[in-house]
Every structure is written in C-alpha cells, then in structure tokens.
Structure 1
C-alpha cells in the first residue's frame, strides 16, 4: 500500500491521503497481529487513532452543516422587472418598486430591491428625478438661442466687439454685427433685426441664453420679451452653462481671428460674413 500516491481516478494527493487514512482507521481493529506487526514499520498506532479521530470529526461536521447558506439568488426575470420599473419611472425609489412588485404578487424583500439597484449602479431616486442643466438644454434645444460678445483687436490697435447668436437645434450662426463701442441702441437694433429674421424664417424660439455682461442692455430683454422670447442668464463665471456658444467662440478665435490679419472694422465684418456660413453647423 502506497500512502499519498495519486489514484487512477484523478483524485488529488490530499483526497487520496484522506482515503488511505480512513481505510487504515477502519481496518485497525480486525487486522491480524502479524499484519499489525508489519504496519508498525510504516506508521504508529497513535497515528492511526488520530486519523480515525479526524475522520469522525469531518463526518460530524458535514452532518451538522446547514444544507443552504444565505439567501437564494434572485430570479433573473425579477431583476429585469425591477430595472425596467426604475428605468421607466425615474422618480421611484426602492420602496415604491417593492410596493409595485407586491401588487403584482411577487414576494421579495425591500432590501433585495435595494441590493439589485446597488449592483446595477442605479442612483437613488432623488438624484434620478432631478433635472440637470444638460438635460434641460437637450429637451429644449428646438426653442433655444444663445448669444455672446467676442472681443478682438485689429492691426490698427482698435478693439472690436462681435455680437453673434447661435441656434441650439440647428447650430446655425447669425453674426449680428461688429463695432468698436457697442452702445445700448446698437445692441437693441441688432436684436430687433434678429427678431424680424426669425419671424420671416418661421422659427418659434422661446428662450435666449446669455451671460451677465454689462454690454447687454435691459432694452434688449424687453424687445425679446415682446417677441415671446425669455432671457435666461447664466451663472457667474460658469461658461459651461452656455457651452454651445462658447464652443463656436473658440472655433472663431482659432480659425479666423488668430489666423488672419484684420486691418479695420470693415475688413473684420467682411471676414465674418465669409466665415459665418462655413461654421453654421457643428464641427463635433
């Protein structure tokens, strides 16, 4: 007998050793004396007794061990139903989902619903129900305008201010004008021309996003309000609230203002008229 050798059935050395010890422990009592005398050359009787004791302990532990540990896994169809309810009803929390499942006759604990949402990375109901600024812009894109001033300097050293407007839905750019001193009357007239162009084009816009620059007069907001367009002010030092307009401003600076030598205001207006239709739609 070879103790610890691998068996032809493919058992590991550890399992084979356990089997050998159990076999020896079972044969200890009925073995003849001559066989016991031979076994003394390999093992001691105390060792066999210890093996037998360990064997009894393992059998007792297996007999007393519970057959099932922990909760059973949640049925896949129930997990899919929980995720569907949350996806279609963003304002529902895990307790509301548990109540709906109970109404459908599905027995499940509220903690199980919470655990499913946690494993799938679903945010709490308060975070899912809130409307972010990006969600607002996407949902209202068809009715949004945005405007901003762009500052530049000509070769003559004269500072110029460009007033531009962009439509969120089509990304169409409208350059309203460029001037060295944008007075309130000049801005108001530029906005009036914009309103007339929008009416002629049949555009139904309801909001215009702009920053809190002092060059925008109150008369501008009044003209827009008469046309049914509400002015939406961005936060202080928060250009990302007007990200689409800021993106076009960056493109205009990089592709036009920083690349060409603009002699004067007239040359600037000509360059803007040529550049406007080229970047009337998004580059990204």
Structure 2
C-alpha cells in the first residue's frame, strides 16, 4: 500500500467513504468495501465523533471554568462545605462560598455570584465542568445557562475528568489545611479568602511559565541578585511564606 494511502487509513478524522474517495483520486481502482475491510482490521477503531477530552480542554481553555466542592472538618467535628471555581486558562481561583448546610438556595446564590464575577474577569466563558454531586441542582445550572454557559457533567466516579479542580483542592490541603486547626465557619472563610489572594497573586504555575494567575507578563530580570535584599511575607501566620526582592 502506498504511504499516502496508509496515512489515510490511520487518519482518525476520516471514515471509509472519505478514504475510498481519496484512494480513487490517487488513481487506484478499489471498491468501497475494500476500505471498510481494511479499517475493520485496525484496533481500536478510529474516533470520528469529535475531539478527545484532552483536546477539548486544551482548545477551549480560554472559555472554560470548572467547579468542585471541598469539605473541611473543624475541631468541633463540624463538617463545612466550600464551593470553588477555577478558570482553566489563567488558573484563577474563586472561593465562592462556605457553609455547613449546602442547600439548593445556597448553591444557586453562589452560581449567581460567580456569573457576576466572571462577567468582569473573563471575555467569554462558555463551558462549566462539574461532577454529578446532588448539591448541583437544576436551579444551579439554570443560573449559568442564562449567561450562555453550557454545563458539562463529568462521568460518574471519574475525578480525572475534572483534574484541574482536583489538583487545586489537593494543593490547598497540602499547603494550608493540613497545617491548621479550623475552629469554625468564620475561621474557615478567613483562611480560604487569604489563601485565594496568595494563590492568585503570588503562587507560580508551571503551565503559565511560572506566572501566578493574575500576572500578565514575566517580571524584569533582577540584576545582581546577590546584592539585593530578600523580603519575606508571612501568609496565615507563616504557614506559607512568599518571597520577593526589595525594591
């Protein structure tokens, strides 16, 4: 089989009809069923229904947000629930709200707050990725759909389908929550709000070339760093330390 024809067979975007048409245009006299027979022997079958999940996330990153629920246990054995949102392109983190009783009305109000906030921060949010948690109701979805945001539900028991949110929750636990005893809801709200400011303004991200979410461009290189004084900012009493060169 000529190389060009072999490439056609393995092109995942083509079916047997298109492959047969291109083969005929190449000057080969072959029946259509021949292309179908060749494709049938290739496993797994090429995907022709659309882009892969990885490709979709990459192509739509600038208009994609995701959400997940983080639970926090206090020293009084009370469980709190925090709803977080993450912008895929910038990795900007939104702590939408925290409560001990995540009712339908509460979740819906957080969606309204997010829609208002994203209208300012993002040019064209189009998709929201979420899991199938019962906390997300039809009213929650409807608020975002009125803003022309399409809801994409991940498969059942497939946390990797919302990997960005899963990772940021893991980061939050490792960097903050595993080192603090949360007293109550007010304390948890303060901790999450403080971490959000640090995360968005100072924490570098590898996918953004070590830029924090709010940064727009790389800082100017520091000349003679050995002669510059390093300043430390304590976050949450020193649980996190942020460093910078003195001006």
Q: TM-score, normalised by structure 2?
A: 0.67
- Aligned position for 2:93: 173
Superposed displacement of residue 264, structure 1: 2.1
Superposed displacement of residue 84, structure 1: 5.2
More deviation in 269-278 or 238-247?
269-278
C-alpha distance 283-149 of structure 1, shift in aligned 2 (>3 A): farther
More deviation in 95-104 or 143-152?
95-104
Superposed displacement of residue 137, structure 1: 2.5
Greater strand percent: which structure?
2
Superposed displacement of residue 272, structure 1: 1.2
Separation (CA, whole Å) in 2 of partners of 1:228 and 1:98: 40
Q: Which has the higher contact order (CA 8 A, sep 6+)?
A: 2
What CA deviation, in whole Å up to 9, does each residue of 1:239-273 have, x standing for no partner? 12212211211211222211222222222222212
Note if 1:234 corresponds to 2:169. Answer: no
Separation (CA, whole Å) in 2 of partners of 1:82 and 1:276: 54
More deviation in 158-167 or 239-248?
239-248
What CA deviation, in whole Å up to 9, does each residue of 1:108-151 have, x standing for no partner? 9979xx69xx9xxx866x42424333333233322221111111
Corresponding pairs, count: 200
Separation (CA, whole Å) in 2 of partners of 1:143 and 1:83: 37
Note if 1:182 corresponds to 2:102. Answer: yes
Separation (CA, whole Å) in 2 of partners of 1:159 and 1:177: 14
Structure 2 gaps of 5+ residues are 208-247
- Aligned position for 1:256: 176
What CA deviation, in whole Å up to 9, does each residue of 1:169-209 have, x standing for no partner? 22211111212112222222221111111112243112212
SS at match of 2:176: helix
SS at match of 2:179: coil
- Aligned position for 2:26: 104
1:40-51 superposed matches below 5 A: none
Separation (CA, whole Å) in 1 of partners of 2:19 and 2:115: 49
Separation (CA, whole Å) in 1 of partners of 2:8 and 2:84: 45
C-alpha distance 255-106 of structure 1, shift in aligned 2 (>3 A): same
Note if 1:129 corresponds to 2:48. Answer: yes
More deviation in 201-210 or 142-151?
201-210
SS at match of 1:174: strand
- Aligned position for 2:225: none
Q: TM-score, normalised by structure 1?
A: 0.59
Separation (CA, whole Å) in 1 of partners of 2:199 and 2:9: 41
Separation (CA, whole Å) in 2 of partners of 1:231 and 1:128: 23
Separation (CA, whole Å) in 2 of partners of 1:166 and 1:190: 14
C-alpha distance 266-283 of structure 1, shift in aligned 2 (>3 A): farther
Superposed displacement of residue 162, structure 1: 0.8
- Kept in 1: contact 2:8–2:19 (CA 8 A): yes
More deviation in 98-107 or 151-160?
98-107
1:1-284 superposed matches below 5 A: 78-79=2-3, 81-82=4-5, 85=8, 90-93=13-16, 97=19, 99-105=21-27, 126-131=45-50, 132-280=52-200, 282=205
